[in-house]
Amino acid sequence: MKIAIGSDHAGFRYKECIIQHLREGGHEVMDFGTHSAETADYPKFIRPVAEAVAAGEYERGIVLGGSGNGEAIAANRVRGIRCGLCWNLESARLTRLHNDANVLSLGERMMTVEMALEIVDVFLTTAFEGGRHLARIRQIDEP
């Protein structure tokens, strides 16, 4: 799978771990930054991830910050993006199953790195169930 990823300084450490995990799993990963733990403004790195996913250049996106809230908000401002802020395995499963989320937002300060990696795996392997949820999602994406 082709995956776009980006973070601010508060998500940098987990971003690096996730990139390694994804590449070891055979995924193609594009890192949109930031490239250090030095203070950075998250929209500079999050919006390009969302735009690349919305354009179809990447199948999924992952964005990270301290809480993941601002990153989810920034990503969801891009038409065609359905970014789910996840904090456990069930929230990751449901954001894919019911919402067909194409971007995952994680908060480095909210969980262990082990949990973050498990959430990523669930997000990438859970299929959208379609059906009654599809009509609602299409209404959101259409102008």
Instruction: Annotate 28-55 with b (16+ C-beta within 10 A) or e (fewer).
Output: ebbbbbbeeeeebebbebbbbbbbbbbe
Residues labelled catalytic: 71, 98
Q: Is 132 exposed, middle or buried (0-12, 13-18, 19+ CB in 10 A)?
A: exposed
Cβ(89)–Cβ(122) below 8 Å: yes
